[in-house]
Structure 1
Amino acid sequence: MDYNSFEHTTFDSLEQFEDDACFYILKIANESIAAKQSFNLVLCGGGTPKNIYAKLANIVTDWSKWHIFFGDERCLPFDHSERNSVMVEECLISKSSIPHKQVHFIEGELGNIAAANEYDSLLNAVEDFDLVLLGFGEDGHTASLFPGHEWDNSKNAVAVFDAPKPPSERVSLTPSRLSRTKNILFLITGKNKVDAFKQWQTKNDLPVSDISALNEKKIYTFNVV
């Protein structure tokens, strides 16, 4: 989706960036639970959302209605510190009351092909997401969709080979499945993202350009100048 179709908010402080992200997640959660008694949320990995997830664990909500999914995962042992699942478990899952059976991890320890096939099958039975959170790398990647790579966009999830940053093997949701969401929020921080972010704004030739949402499309940035 063209950058100009997104609502872009720039924050003056990291605390404000994180607090507003939490507020927005809670807003969509409340709306979704009121409308259909469930909230389907896709989480992103990386360093940017860690404090957001930690703050989110302290909100007042009906955790029994939350269903957690992952935009991507690194193919590493299940307890490896670089796994997205480990970070989310430590920051959010273990400190909230989300039922563990409603946290749908990508089992990267199975290897990228097996894990992608399993998650693809799981998502066949899942309705559209209510909110997708995505990051943005200094090379312009999002989830584990890297510039210059190709993927089968008819799938929900795909195996990733030869990622330009370790580990080389990963699993990622596809742009088509990430776009099956009512709302989407990109969380972007850091001066090292400036060049890639300008590329998104001007050329629309990055993987993010293939991702959209049915309703609200937002970008939050801090220190990307």
Structure 2
Amino acid sequence: MLRENAAPRWHIYPDNAEISTRLATAVTRIAAEAIARRGAFHLVVAGGNTPRAAYARLPTLGNDWQRWHIYHGDERCLPVEDAERNSVMLEDTWLSQVPIPRTQIHHIPAEKGAREAARIYAEVLPRQHFDLVLLGLGEDGHTASLFPDHDWGRDKHTPATLAIFDAAKAPAERVSLSAWRLRQTRALFFLVCGAGKQNALRAWLQNAAIPAAAVGSDADVWLDKAAWPEMLPETQ
């Protein structure tokens, strides 16, 4: 479980290819440990392009697929087969190639609209902690669909899932796990690649009030050299 008031751990790698290889290995290692200890592996996946290559490696590395349980950190309110949905990317790159029981792949029903999908998904989430949560970092400091100057759901008395109607990026309507629910995990990885993320990382390092910092105060942040802010020493 994440510790309060701890610092992130920054892991800098040469490029996304190196991160993808290491991430796929780490996910399968954590899965094996979770299954050995608790009989199941509960994983929250990130969308976007950064983790795509890592997901593509998983079919050749993972096993005990019948014990994997997959959840999403967020989803866009688009038709089921829209290529911009995280669920479509996951199916295309990984899930369609492995025998995880379909009842254990929990896509967010975002096609129903943000409010109804958030209500349904809150009932799907496990009561226990996740084993691993994967998240990305937006250029404005957002993570999942938690955007600056919006409600991030940091209070445990707020819902575990949030209906988003005014996201800073299209589409405006989305569903996201709240900040406090994302933090209920045994391990938390942020994946950050590209020079476009330097300003967001600089803000995080300077303790700015951005969603990623609120969620990832004790995260492992995996980033490539291009994403590390210029003029700052590299650290691991």
Residue 142 of structure 2 is matched in structure 1 by 141
Unaligned runs of 5+ in 2: 229-236
| Alpha-carbon shift at residue 131 of structure 1 (Å) | 0.2
Residue 105 of structure 2 is matched in structure 1 by 103
| Alpha-carbon shift at residue 212 of structure 1 (Å) | 4.7
The answer to whether structure 1 residue 203 and structure 2 residue 232 are counterparts is: no
| Alpha-carbon shift at residue 208 of structure 1 (Å) | 1.7
Residue 58 of structure 1 is matched in structure 2 by 60
| Alpha-carbon shift at residue 3 of structure 1 (Å) | 9.6
| Alpha-carbon shift at residue 4 of structure 1 (Å) | 6.6
Report the Cα distance in structure 1 between the residues aligned to 2:143 and 2:106, rounded to whole angstroms.
20
Pick one of 174, 185, 191 that aligns with 2:189: 185
Residue 128 of structure 1 is matched in structure 2 by 129
TM-score (structure 2 length as normaliser): 0.89
Give the fraction of aligned pairs with identical amino acids, expressed as a percent: 39
* Deviation larger for 35-44 or 14-23: 14-23
Residue 44 of structure 2 is matched in structure 1 by 42
Pick one of 15, 20, 27 that aligns with 2:29: 27
Unaligned runs of 5+ in 1: none
TM-score (structure 1 length as normaliser): 0.94
Asked if the contact 2:25/2:61 (under 8 Å) is kept, the reply is: no
User: 1:33-92 CA deviation, whole Å, 9 max, x = no partner?
Assistant: 000110000001011111111111221411011000000000000100000000001111
Pick one of 170, 180, 185 that aligns with 1:166: 170
Report the Cα distance in structure 2 between the residues aligned to 1:130 and 1:28, rounded to whole angstroms.
8
The answer to whether structure 1 residue 224 and structure 2 residue 215 are counterparts is: no
Report the Cα distance in structure 1 between the residues aligned to 2:22 and 2:10, rounded to whole angstroms.
13
Pick one of 157, 162, 186 that aligns with 2:161: 157
Residue 84 of structure 2 is matched in structure 1 by 82
User: 1:175-205 CA deviation, whole Å, 9 max, x = no partner?
Assistant: 1100110000000001001001100110231
Q: Which amino acid aligns with 1:197?
A: L
The answer to whether structure 1 residue 14 and structure 2 residue 16 are counterparts is: yes
| Alpha-carbon shift at residue 217 of structure 1 (Å) | 2.8
Report the Cα distance in structure 2 between the residues aligned to 1:85 and 1:58, rounded to whole angstroms.
20
* Deviation larger for 168-177 or 203-212: 203-212
Report the Cα distance in structure 1 between the residues aligned to 2:143 and 2:130, rounded to whole angstroms.
17
Asked if the contact 1:58/1:96 (under 8 Å) is kept, the reply is: no
Asked if the contact 1:42/1:68 (under 8 Å) is kept, the reply is: yes
Asked if the contact 2:207/2:213 (under 8 Å) is kept, the reply is: no
Q: Which amino acid aligns with 1:207?
A: P
Asked if the contact 2:16/2:50 (under 8 Å) is kept, the reply is: no
Q: Which amino acid aligns with 1:126?
A: R
Pair 219,9 (structure 1): closer, same or farther in 2 beyond 3 Å: same
User: 1:105-135 CA deviation, whole Å, 9 max, x = no partner?
Assistant: 1001000000001111222x43110000000
